[in-house]
Structure 1
Amino acid sequence: MDPCQADATTFPQASASPKSKAELAPPTPSDYPSIRFWDREDWDKYLESPKGQTSKRGTMGYLEDKDGNPPSRETAKAICKLLRGGWVELVHWELAPPSWGRLSTSTRQFIHGLMESTYPHFKFANNGWKLDYLASNTYPAW
Structure 2
Amino acid sequence: MEPPPHQARRDMARQSLDCRDLVQSPHRQYRRITSMSAPALFTEQEAAQALKVCTRTLRKARQDGALSFVRIGRNVRYSEADLAQFIERSRECLSTSAPARRSGSTRSPSTVFDFEEVRAARGNAKRGS
Query: Which bracket does the TM-score occupy, shorter chain normalised?
Result: under 0.3
Q: TM-score, normalised by structure 2?
A: 0.24
Q: Bigger radius of gyration, 1 or 2? A: 2
Identify the structure with bigger relative contact order (alpha carbons < 8 Å, sequence gap 6+).
1
- Structure with more helix by fraction: 1
Which structure: greater strand fraction?
2
